[in-house]
Amino acid sequence: MKLENPWIATQCQSHSVQPNGLTTFLQEQYGQLGEDLILEAVLKTIFVREGRADDSLRYLEVGANHPIQTSNTYLFHRKWNARGVLVEANPQLIDALQQVRLRDLVLNVAVAPTGQGPEVDLVVAEHSELSSVDPGHVASFGSKGRVARTVRVPTIRLDELISIHFADGLDLLSIDIEGLDLQVLSEARLPVRPLCIVAEPSRHYQADAEKRFATTLGDKGYVEVARTEYNLVYIDRSRLPVGKSAIPPFRQPLETFDIFDTLIARHCVSPTAIFEAVERQADDPGFATARAAAERNVEHGEYSIADIYRTLQIQRGYSDETLHVLMQTELNEELANVVPIADNVARLGRDAVLITDMYLPPDAIRALLKAAGIATDLPIIQTSHGKRTGSVWRTLAQAGVECHHLGDSRHSDHDTCLHHGMRPELHNAAALSAAESRLFDAGFVDLPRALRSMRLMTRSAAIPQDLLRLQFEFNLPLLITFAALVRRHALSHGIERVLFAARDGLHLKLFYDALCDALGSGAPATYWHTSRVARTAGDPEYLDYCRANFSLTTLIVDLCGTGASLLRLFEDLNDDGARPQTVLCQKLDDPAQKESLTRDYRLDADAKLSVLNIVDGSFCPNEDLEMLNYVPHGMLQSVMRIGAEWFPVRAPYEFDANLRAAVAQQHAMIADAATHLRGVINSAAVAELEGRCEDVLHRLQAVVRTLEPQQRALRATVLQQHRSFEAQTRQRLAAARSR
């Protein structure tokens, strides 16, 4: 069967050009991202050179799964008439493999690393391709890794498998055993050397996956020749042709990193802001404009900050002493503004090399790295435009060095790098997020700077990108806004203590505490053990706990709600004189829901709760806000008193293990962000927020409307369990009220 390539016709039509007369067919492939086509191209070259027939190819596929789809060997089985051994641990997949792959030997065993006995438990996921003997790997996929069952299967070592079945040679080893590929390959002696090895690095699960594979397989004499989003392809170096085209004898690519806007960024965002700060400190009108112009005058060749300032001296008539003071002020401002980009800093190994096009002196660059917590003894290749012109990549290539380079510039860190045979990776975390950009465009300065610096300093690599965007572009800025307004209200109304309601209020409390610490003022905050169940049950011990914490100078803060369960609690306390003030950051006011809760909680229809709310239910989907602020502990049932302290009595955590692990990761990231906010927020940023809070909220609401795909992804992962728990909670409340 031949199919014409539809992309050619589509692109020709979109650009209004006629296709040529040649018929262009799609290539037959079965691998997930064309890995089998890559392997076919490599193997065909070697087979032709060595005079071998296609059907002499022998393969071993460990973790076969499906006989056709996503198979790295089916193309060779069908098109080359080759044969081999398929290994699959899941017994339910064996029949299909045997039905389709008639020439192949199909084995129902698990290839396991050292330490496993003759049998092992296979965790079978509902998505069968995610099944693994490593439960942690299955759990790492969140809801996609939902476990269907566990089965006991026999094990075999990779070397034993190869020795038994491939004494006459092995051309292709494809291994995909969900998180254990690297460990199995590391331990293998490979008694018969495969010509090609294709493996899944599980990048989301193993840090520095490519680097670790390169070291492991490089030590065994293999070199990487290709990679896709999911797989790495290696070839036996001894089978490569000898000559200028041969891959240089390095075991692994050199890991190189850009510095500015890759490892470190400026809190003030742009260098222009640095120049403006120098202008203010020196009381030298026009300095910032002249400083930028001076750099443009010298940037055509190799230049340094000294060259820039000599040009400034000529243009503006500075004395040597003034010139020195201005230059030192600029260096001090750079140091004061340094912000580490945490996820990229975490990727630095001891063998990393830093490459930068930067005019600052080497000592200043190392001082900036030190301030960001980066080792200052890493080698630095510094030019003023070596990356931009490609000369640094050309020099490295001529020396036989291959670089895996991380940087932020499309031109300097990617295009020129790629042109000279290197492996570039773009990372643009330093660019403004949608929320930060909208705030800057609206005239905010210090607030978006603080939000950006907090984001860059927060470790977030384990969090899915969709969730990251929802957190940093909406939820965290919103929590900071809520926290600032709560702090202002507490200070202006004589509040002596703020009670943040569990569980939705925990993250809000973290940011409230961060603001109070950073500004040196604010009413003390307490995490209030509470829940709808506890507030409406009328438990005498819980009522005593609340009486001990409530007063007229207490402020209760909850992230969202109707206030109905609080009203039930206040009526049960029967102490109107000590009723706290209440803030519901998002107040839900659906008439039908209000009527239902009034009936369920046996409230007086005319009862009212005085509540300050910041936004209403139409601001954003309430369920999304709750899901973005899950915390990793169960709902409060009641409290118990031991001595002078009250301790929470919580129900078991309501969600499955996968969601609990994801919630724990999210909570750790948010706590990390709150910690970093302390160091980057200032009174000017809070003044901007408080003075224009409605504008901030309006822009955050506009941002969340652009994040509908991310919201859908969140709901697809969490909403079913969220609503199931809500239904169980309503049943629990109904049962408690009926007693």
pLDDT tens column, 603-643: 887 777 888 999 999 999 988 999 999 999 999 999 999 98
Higher pLDDT, 696 or 253: 696
Sort 499 into a burial class: Cβ within 10 Å, 0-12 / 13-18 / 19+: buried
pLDDT of residue 370: 96
pLDDT for the residue numbered 429: 92
Query: Residue 520's pLDDT is what?
Result: 96
Higher pLDDT, 243 or 212: 212
Provide the pLDDT confidence category of residue 325 given band limits of 50, 70 and 90: very high
- Cα-based angle 612, 616, 621 (whole degrees, multiple of 5): 135
pLDDT band at 247 (very low <50, low <70, confident <90, very high): very low
Backbone angles phi, psi at 286, to 5 degrees: 90, -5
pLDDT digits (tens, 9 = 90+) for 538-547: 899 999 999 9
pLDDT at 130 over 70: no
Residue 393 has pLDDT above 70, yes or no: yes
The confidence band for 735, taking pLDDT boundaries of 50, 70 and 90, is low
**How many other C-beta atoms can be found within 10 angstroms of the C-beta atom of residue 213?**
25
Tokens at residue 583, please? 């803030």
Write the pLDDT tens digit of every residue in 295-311: 999 988 789 999 999 99
Mean pLDDT of the chain: 88
pLDDT digits (tens, 9 = 90+) for 45-83: 888 888 888 999 999 999 888 899 888 999 999 999 999
> What element of type H or E holds 337?
none
For residues 531 and 625, give the distance between their C-alpha atoms in angstroms, rounded to a whole number.
17
139: confidence class by pLDDT, cuts 50, 70, 90 = low
Under 8 Å CB-to-CB from 635, ≥6 apart: which residues? 503, 531, 533, 650, 651, 654, 729
What are 155's strand-pairing partners?
Answer: 110
Give me the percent of the chain exceeding a pLDDT of 70: 92
Please check the confidence at residue 738 and state whether its pLDDT lies above 60: no
Q: Take residue 69 and report the two structure tokens written for it.
A: 């789809």
Q: Are 222 and 237 in contact (CB under 8 A)?
A: yes
Q: What does the alpha-carbon distance between residue 676 and residue 686 come to, in Å, rounded to a whole number?
A: 15
Distances (CA, A) of 439 to 126, 678, 685, 697: 43, 20, 12, 10
pLDDT tens-digit readout, 443-462? 999 999 999 999 999 998 77
The pLDDT of residue 250: 42
Q: Which helix (H) or strand (E) holds 89?
A: none
pLDDT at 208: 67
User: Is pLDDT at 26 greater than 80 in this prediction?
Assistant: no
CB within 8 Å of 48: residues ≥ 6 apart: none
- Scan for tokens 């050292």, then name that residue: 114
Under 8 Å between Cβ of 161 and 35: no
- Region 367-389 average pLDDT: 92
Q: Are strands 58-62 and 554-561 parallel, antiparallel or unpaired?
A: unpaired
pTM, rounded to two decimals: 0.68
Task: Strands of 222-279 (E only): list them.
Answer: 222-227, 232-236, 254-257, 264-266
The answer, yes or no, to whether residue 203 has pLDDT greater than 70, is no
Lowest mean pLDDT among 23-27, 239-243, 443-447: 239-243
Q: Summarize the confidence of residues 580-589 as an average pLDDT.
A: 93
Instruction: Report the C-alpha gap between 502 and 499 in whole angstroms.
Output: 9
pLDDT of 647 strictly over 90 = yes
pLDDT value of residue 391:
92
Tens of pLDDT, residues 495-531: 999 999 999 999 999 999 999 999 999 999 999 999 9
**Helices in 582-707 by DSSP H: which ranges?**
591-600, 622-627, 657-680, 683-691, 693-705
Can you give the pLDDT at residue 246?
A: 43
Comparing 350 with 144, the larger pLDDT belongs to 350
Instruction: Look at residue 70 in the predicted model and tell me its pLDDT.
Output: 85
pLDDT digits (tens, 9 = 90+) for 628-637: 999 999 999 9
- Could you report the per-residue pLDDT of 57-66, keeping only the tens digit for each? 999 999 888 8
Let me know: does 634 contact 502? Beta carbons within 8 Å: no
Overall average pLDDT of the 233-242 stretch: 78
Element (H, E) at 110: strand 110-111
**Which uninterrupted H or E stretch holds 471?**
none
